[in-house]
Chains A and B, each alone.
Chain A
Amino acid sequence: MSVPILNASGCLDALVAPDVARTLDAFVTKTVTLLPREGNPPPRIAEVEHGMLNSIGLQNPGIDAFVSEALPALAELGVPLWVSVGGFSAREYAHVCERLDECEDVTTIELNLSCPNVEEAAETAAEITRAARAATSKPLYAKLSPATWDLAALARAVAEAGADGLSLVNTIRGLALDPATGRPVLARGAGGYSGPALLPIAAACIHACAHAVDLPIVGMGGVASGADAAMLVAAGASAIAIGTALFADPLAAERIRAELASAVGTPPAADRDSRSLSQASSA
C-alpha cells in the first residue's frame, strides 16, 4: 500500500532538519498567523501516560516574515509545501490566505481551526473557511478538533463553505497536575494531548467524516507504525500525517512508509455505502 505521508503541523522545522523534511511527501509548516507570536511561557511540554501535552501557543514570525524569510528557504527543499494558517477572526485568516495565494511555492493551505492552546476564534469554522475560500484559489484543507460533538455536521459545513479537504485530527485538550503540588505542569495549565492515545479517536473522527462528505482526508493522531497508518486509511484517510512519533524518531516517515509497503494485503477502504456504524455511534 502506498499512501502519501506528511508531518503534522507544528511537529517539524524543515529549516532546522531539512533531511527529515525530505523524507515526506509534503511538508506542513507550523501555523502562521497575521502578526508575529512569541508563544506561551515554558514549561510547554510534558510527557504523560500514553501521550504528551503541549502548549506552544502558535509561536511564529507572522505572515510578513514568513513570506519574506522562511518561504524562499522552504521552497529550496524541493518538497511540496503546505502552509498551516491560524488566526483570531475570519478576517485574519483571509488576510493570511490572500498573502499566500500570491506565493507560487505554496501548494496547499491548511486552516488550523482547532488549536487547543489559544482562545477560540470568534467565528465558526464554516465562516472562516468561507472567508479563506474567497481569499485564495489554492487547495484548502480544514483541520478540525476531535473535541467536537457532531464532527460529521462540521465536516459538511466546511465542505459547503468551500474546503477541498479535511485534516483530522488536531490534539485534544488535556491537563497534567504535579502530584506533589497539585499545580499544572504546563505554565498555561491545559495543553494539547497527542500521541498513541489519539489513534482510536482519530479513527472515529475520520470514519464519521468519510461517511459525511466526499472530500480527501489527511489522517493523523497517534500514528507511530505502518499498522497505525493502515488503520486510519481503512477509516477513510487518503494521506497520513505524523506528529508526536517524529519527536522520538526523525526517520518515522521512512519507517512507516516501508512498513506500509510490506504490509500483507490491502485493507479495504472505508465503505461509504455502509453507514450503520456512524449512525449507531451518533445515536
Chain B
Amino acid sequence: MEPVGPYTLLCLERGGLESGRPGQFFMLEAPGRLLPRPMSLCLAPPGELAFLVEPIGPGTRALCALTPGDAIHVLGPLGNGFDLDVERPLLVAGGIGIAPMPYLREALGGAPAILGFRSELHAEAACLLPDAEVVVEPELVTDLLGEDPGDVLACGPEPMLEAVRRAVPGAQLAWEAPMACGYGACFGCVVELEGRYARLCVEGPVLR
C-alpha cells in the first residue's frame, strides 16, 4: 500500500495470475462489498501486480483500506488491452486514467506521455510516469496534442476520451463502466458501439 497523491497504489502478490496485456483489467474483491471492482493493471514488478485505486466509493475505499497481509480474490486478466504494434506511441491520460500507463509504457519500451489532472494534489501521481508533460485544469491534455500527435493510446474520463477521439480519430481509447462480473455474464457494462450496445468487458475496455 503506497499513497500516490490522493490515490493508493495497491500491491498484491501475483500468485498464479498472468499480468496480461496493458489495458486489460482484473476484478478485485472489495472487502465487505457484494461485487468486485474492475481495475487495470498499473505495474507488474516480479511476483506482484500493482493497481492504482482512487477512493471514490464504498468499494474503492475498502480496497484502499486494505492492510499488508490481507488477502482478496482477484480474477483476470480480462478484456482486450492496447494494441502494442504502433510506430510513434503517445500516451495520454486524465486523472485516474494514468492507472494503466506505467505498465503500458514499460511494454512499449518507453513512450512520451501527456497527463492531465484536476488539481496539483492529483498531479502528484505523475511521479508514476517520469518525464511526462503534465497539465492541471483548466489546461487540458488536448491542448498539447499538436498537429501530428502520432499513435495515441489514451485513458481517462469520458469527456477527455471523446475530445481525444475528435482530435485523433483512430486513437486507442481505454474506457470504463460499472461492471458486476467483468467476464461477459451480466450485460451491465455496455457502451454504444456502431449503433449497438457492446459489453465493454468483452469487446473493450480498449476500443478504437
Chain A interfacial positions (CB closer than 8 Å to B): 10-13, 16-17, 20, 30, 38-39, 41-47, 50-52, 54, 56, 59, 195-196, 244, 246-250
Contact = CB atoms under 8 A, between A and B. Distances in A.
A195 B177 CA distance: 20
What 4 A-B pairs are tightest by C-beta distance, nearest first?
A16-B184, A45-B188, A247-B181, A247-B180
27 contacts: A11-B185, A11-B186, A12-B185, A16-B185, A17-B183, A17-B185, A30-B187, A38-B196, A39-B187, A39-B197, A42-B191, A44-B187, A45-B189, A46-B178, A47-B59, A50-B34, A52-B34, A54-B186, A54-B188, A59-B197, A244-B34, A246-B181, A246-B185, A247-B185, A248-B34, A249-B73, A250-B183
B30 to A, nearest CB: 9
A247 B188 CA distance: 11
B31 to A, nearest CB: 12
B183 A51 contact: no
B190 interface: yes
Contacts of A46: 178
Contacts of A12: 185
Interface size class of B (residues with CB under 8 A): 20 to 34
Interface of B: 27, 29, 33-36, 58-59, 73, 75, 177-181, 183-191, 196-197, 202
Nearest to B185: A12
Nearest to A12: B185
Q: Most chain-B Cβ atoms within 10 A of its Cβ — which of A20, A42, A43, A56?
A: A42
Given A59-B197, A248-B35, A43 B180 contact: no
B135 to A, nearest CB: 27
B122 to A, nearest CB: 20
B185 A13 contact: yes
Contacts of A41: 197
Contacts of A250: 75, 181, 183, 185
B184 A13 contact: yes
Contacts of A44: 187-190
B188 A17 contact: no
